[in-house]
Chains A and B, each alone.
Chain A
Amino acid sequence: MANDYSGMTVNERLFGAGLLDDYDRTRAQGDLTKLNELLAKVGLRFENGSHWDLDPSFYMLNINNLHATVADKPILKGLSLTINAGEVHAIMGPNGAGKSTLGYVLGGRPGYEVTGGDVTFDGTDLLALAPHERAAAGLFLGFQYPVEIPGVSFVQFLREALNSQRKARGQAPLSGGEFLKLAREKAALLRMDMDMLKRPVNVGFSGGEKKRAEMVQMGILDPTLAILDETDSGLDIDALRICGEGINAIMRKPDKAVLLITHYQRLLDYVKPDFVHVLAGGRIIKTGGPELALQLEEEGYEAVA
């Protein structure tokens, strides 16, 4: 039997083999043995929430030798990183290393020019997609500095954004009532007052409120891969815990992954990373487990670089 699965996502493989429903049910039951029996039929393997054992094109995110410039200045200089479904990765690194640039390049921000390398997301060429298409494909970028948009309310824009994503995926739009129910649920999860979502996007929000609102948006849009750029900065002690728990509730699933960009261990206490990377000079210079973050906090970047 010579099945050629190349270029297909995990879900597509399972669907093609008529196993997707079975798989979803088994996963919900949390039966790892049965899960792997099913996955084996399509050449996959799932290990303890940590990684898919499969050929490179089946990583959820595969960044290969990425080079990018901003205003003609090279910032990313051969960055490689792979992320599997079910994993949480943390990126740490000195100011100006290119962490936000990586997020922007993956999100498709105009002016961030890719000059080399490639990126696949669920097997498709991410860099060929427009920003809104990347969102519809399941990517969410949490901004280090969320943008204020006067005159446009969160609920108005999020409903349109979600329905645009659903349309692109061939799903029916949510009605006003259905959307508000969902928004209320996610606002409650992040302990944010629903009235704040009726206000213009981020206008007059404190730094911490903006970050919390980013997490509410993530909950509503329900991405498969979230890149969270310094979500922890600006949060007070309680908000840090609430956002950390929120990230776990929304994203800690076998078919989802998170890339946390952070400077401190504090968020990682709540959202435990499977891998920690050090980004310096536009490249990943070191990768380790959760202990690497602790070591960095103790010794600084110079010691590990």
Chain B
Amino acid sequence: MNLAALSMPTKSDEAFRYADLTALAGVWPVEPEEITVPAGASEALSIVQDAASGAVARQLVVTLAADAIFDLRILNLGGAYGRIAVDARLGEAAQFTLGAAQLGSGDQVLEIVTQVTHAAPDAVSRQVIRSVLAGHATGTYLGKVAVARGSNGTDSEQSVRAMLLDRTATANAKPELEIFADDVKCAHGCAVGELDAMGLFYLESRGLPPEEAKKLMLQAFIAEAFSGAAEEEKLQSLALKRLGDML
């Protein structure tokens, strides 16, 4: 590991703009976790970050060889500070999926920071990020998609949505594109909102208590992050349990 990686980042480092640097200092430096998916192989990983307290920071460095498939799902919900950074480099016609939900309450600071590099032609990346934030929690998604020169046929999508349960919670979302190729399809959408009051009243008027009505709507809100995952049910039920505690 080189020295630069060991020195603490500052707020002026784009990828650490919203980080809790004081909390991060306690777990710095972060040892990168290397994952390599060989040519033509298909792998999947789910990460449930459910630390009881304190700070957690992880850095995944994923390399997808040509035609490799990697399906990554993240449920980020524990700790006072929980950061998961993913650096993915996609070879020719590789397919990368990231489905992530972060659920925060109290004074939690949760973040997902991604850098997806389409290093060769015809690779596909799909990111679905859903945050549900209550109390004074902060949820951040910083996601950069870089398309290298000559990576024609790139197909990249970022869908980023956050739901604030209280006006005191904060969501930061910054999908970013850096494109050096011509024939590319890059879509990104980003929205921060609150639960639909009319929808809640409709459900309640049929007999659902308010917490149950909210839970149902939030469950539907985060479902897309886990749909199609090998461990979809497990992730959904862990998320649901956490939502139940938050409401």
Residues on A close to B: CB < 8 A?
A: 107-110, 130-132, 134-136, 140-141, 143, 146-152, 156-158, 160-162, 164-165, 168, 200-201, 217, 221
Question: Inside 8 A of A108's CB, which chain B residues have their CB?
Answer: 204-205
A131-B201 in contact (CB<8A): yes
- The distance in angstroms between the C-alpha atoms of A157 and B205, with both chains bound, is 12
Bound together, the chains give a CA A89 to CA B158 distance in angstroms of 53
Task: Give A25 to B126 CA distance when docked, in angstroms.
Answer: 63
B210 interface contact, C-beta 8 A:
yes
B199 close to A158 (CB less than 8 A): no
B206 contact set on A, CB distance < 8 A? 135, 140, 157-158, 161, 217, 221
Distance (whole angstroms) from the CB of A199 to the closest CB of chain B:
13
Asked if A130 contacts B202 (CB within 8 A), the reply is no
**Looking across the interface, which residue of chain A has its beta carbon closest to that of B208?**
A161
Q: A134-B205, A221-B207 are in contact. List 19 more A-B contacts (CB 8 A).
A: A107-B205, A108-B205, A130-B204, A131-B201, A131-B205, A132-B207, A132-B209, A136-B207, A140-B206, A147-B199, A147-B202, A148-B199, A149-B196, A151-B224, A156-B216, A157-B203, A157-B208, A161-B203, A164-B208
Chain A residues whose C-beta falls within 8 Å of the C-beta of B213 in the assembled complex: 132
A135 touching B205 by the CB < 8 A rule?
yes
Report the nearest A residue to B213, measured CB to CB.
Answer: A132
Whole-angstrom distance between the alpha carbons of A217 and B202 in the complex? 12
Known: A143-B202, A146-B202. A157 touches B216 (CB 8 A): yes
A150 to B218 alpha-carbon distance, docked (Å): 10
B198 CB contacts on chain A under 8 angstroms: 147
B223 contacts A135, C-beta separation under 8 Å: no
- B residues less than 8 Å from A168 (CB atoms): 207
Known: A156-B216, A157-B216, A160-B216. Is A149-B208 also a contact (CB below 8 A)?
no
Cross-chain pair count, CB within 8 angstroms: 80
Considering only CB atoms, which chain B residue lies closest to A147 in the complex? B202
Does A165 lie within 8 Å of B203, measured CB to CB?
no
Please name all residues of chain B whose beta carbon is closer than 8 Å to the beta carbon of A136 when the two chains form the complex: 207
Chain A nearest CB, measured from B165 CB (Å): 15
Number of interface residues of B (CB under 8 A): 23
B221 on the A face (CB < 8 A) = yes
B229 sits at the interface (CB 8 A): no
- Minimum distance in angstroms from A239 CB to a CB of chain B: 21
Task: Check A131 against B212 for contact (C-beta < 8 Å).
Answer: no
- Whether B4 sits at the interface, judged by CB under 8 Å, is no
Complex contact B202–A165 (CB within 8 A): no
| Most-contacted residue by chain A among B199, B206, B224 (CB, 10 A) | B206
Q: A145 — nearest CB in chain B belongs to which residue?
A: B198
- B204 and A132 contact, CB distance less than 8 A: yes
Chain B nearest Cβ from A149, distance in angstroms: 5
Closest 3 CB pairs of A and B: A151-B220, A135-B207, A147-B202
Query: Is B204 a contact of A149 with CB atoms below 8 Å?
Result: no
- Compute how far the CA of A151 lies from the CA of B199 in the bound complex, rounded to whole angstroms: 12
* Alpha-carbon distance A188/B220, docked complex (angstroms): 28
| Bound: A152/B196 CA distance, A | 13
Contacts known (A107-B205, A149-B203); A130 close to B217, Cβ less than 8 A: no
Which residue of chain B has the shortest Cβ distance to A200 in the bound complex?
B220
A221–B206 Cα gap in the complex (Å)?
8
Cβ–Cβ contact B201 & A109, under 8 A: yes
Q: How far is the CB of B149 from chain A (nearest CB, A)?
A: 40
- B197 at the A/B interface (Cβ < 8 Å)? yes
Once the chains bind, are B220 and A132 in contact (CB under 8 Å)?
Answer: no
Q: Which A residues are in CB contact (< 8 Å) with B216?
A: 152, 156-157, 160
